[in-house]
Amino acid sequence: MEPIARADVAAFRKGGVPLANALIEHSGVRIDAERRRGRGAGVNPSGRFEPVSRHVFDDGWETMEELPPFKTEVQVEKPRTIITRNESPDISFDRSINPYRGCEHGCVYCFARPTHAYMGLSPGLDFESKLFAKPDAAKLLERELAKEGYQPKIIAIGTNTDPYQPIEKKWRIMREILEVLEAYNHPVGIVTKSALVARDIDILSRMAEKGLAKVALSVTSLDRTLARTMEPRAATPPKRLETIRKLAEAGIPASVMVAPIVPGLTDQEIERILDSARAAGAREAGYVILRLPLEVSPIFKDWLLRHYPDRYRHVLSLVRSMRGGKDYDSEWGKRMKGNGPYAWQIGRRFELAARKLGLNLERTKLRTDLFKAPKGAGEQLMLL
């Protein structure tokens, strides 16, 4: 991300070239506002693994075509396995499931955007419009749970892309996954920004009665205007709070994730978000500081310039103060919470507010002792 930092300084000092142009030249293709209406990213840079980089420019011949708007396209992906393992000490789970690749919510800060480069696609607008669904996820899950020696631990869903993004209404992959997990009493933890999770309250409430399910709603801001531009196709903040209430009333342990906290833009809302979530029924809370890995940095900067140009320098200054002077620090132990005085201040504010509201007094521990492995493919089925 260092070239971006140099572009920032050069553009500010030169004065004659708008900073936005310097960023767009670095980050890729400028996309017309009409083509990206309802989307988060404003650019669609080539993936970092591509041999060429595409740039749109006017050559003076006035032959520029009017390209169609970005429409959501879904392709079927056929993975061989569905449970992803990790060894990160920063997170509390060692396995997760991603029913979808890419996310239509279009959150401009999404740290999962760079994964689209592995598909030969852009982490920009492609990430939120060219999606991949895994319709065999439930079958694969059942097969993996049936493997000899499988040891049950919490499966986290929603840690990369949102399992309840809009296309879930049609594909229903997440619901099929929950049906498998319920059938074999396997614990699950869900993180989402979508009110669609309330559709599955019937399954989740039955699992919660056995101590097998909990759900966290991510709330970045209570400002509807800010949320609409930053997370264009996610549920509105009031809808997310309402969903917390529905989950809590159904007996499902509900928590709130203040994530990500964008310094200089949303950090002043920490206490209000926690207070509102607690009133809705949340009993636990967590937070994550804004992360800008790889291609996310120029995409977020372009968005910040388009919507909050007056805060651009201040926000980035605070971000870099928590990342050792860089846009991002991937070091374990620092990447989620940041480092330095400002990160410390945010952490203490969060802890004090949570304690005052009675949040995190007890942590919901899901059970693993109820797990019943599926019958293996080669196992003799019992007669009557």
pLDDT 10s digits, 8-57: 434 333 433 344 444 443 445 568 888 898 999 999 988 888 887 766 66
pLDDT at 378: 43
Q: How far apart are CA 273 and CA 240, in angstroms?
A: 11
pLDDT at 67: 73
Pair 28, 55: CB distance under 8 Å: yes
pLDDT at 333: 81
Q: How far apart are CA 163 and CA 321, in angstroms?
A: 33
Region 59-87: mean pLDDT is 85
pLDDT 10s digits, 166-225: 999 999 999 999 999 999 999 999 999 999 999 999 999 999 999 999 999 999 999 999
Q: How far apart are CA 144 and CA 199, in angstroms?
A: 26
pLDDT at 260: 97
Q: How far apart are CA 115 and CA 121, in angstroms?
A: 9
Q: How far apart are CA 221 and CA 223, in angstroms?
A: 5
Q: What percentage of the chain exceeds 70 in pLDDT? A: 87
Phi and psi dihedrals of 140, rounded to 5?
-65, -40
Q: How far apart are CA 74 and CA 130, in angstroms?
A: 6
Q: Looking at beta carbons, which pairs linking 267-271 to residues 24 or more positions away fall under 8 Å?
A: 267/346, 269/221, 269/222, 269/223, 270/346, 270/349, 270/350, 270/353, 271/349, 271/353
Least confident piece of the model among 5-9, 41-45, 97-101: 5-9
Other beta carbons less than 10 A from residue 86's beta carbon: 13
Extract the tokens encoding 170: 């049609």
Please choose, from the candidates 372, 226, 299, the residue with its C-alpha nearest in 3D space to the C-alpha of residue 4: 299
Q: What percentage of the chain exceeds 90 in pLDDT? A: 77
3-state secondary structure (DSSP) of residue 101: strand
Q: How far apart are CA 108 and CA 39, in angstroms?
A: 9
Instruction: Looking at mean pLDDT, say which of 27-41, 328-342, 343-357 comes out highest.
Output: 343-357
pLDDT 10s digits, 274-333: 999 999 999 999 999 999 999 999 999 999 999 999 999 999 999 999 999 999 998 888
Q: Which residue has the higher pLDDT, 29 or 237?
A: 237
pLDDT at 63: 56
| Predicted TM-score of the model (pTM) | 0.88
Region 131-155: mean pLDDT is 97
pLDDT at 120: 94
pLDDT at 8: 41
Instruction: For residue 62, name the pLDDT band (cuts at 50, 70, 90).
Output: low
Strand locations in the chain (E): 73-76, 83-85, 95-97, 100-101, 130-133, 155-157, 188-192, 213-218, 254-261, 284-289
As a whole number, the mean pLDDT across the chain is: 89
pLDDT at 377: 47
Q: How far apart are CA 46 and CA 38, in angstroms?
A: 21
Instruction: For residue 163, name the pLDDT band (cuts at 50, 70, 90).
Output: very high
Q: Give residue limits of the domains in the chain.
A: 2-57+69-357
Give residue for tokens 């899950």.
141
pLDDT at 51: 83
Instruction: For residue 6, name the pLDDT band (cuts at 50, 70, 90).
Output: very low
Q: Note the CATH number of domain 2-57+69-357.
A: 3.80.30.30
pLDDT at 375: 86
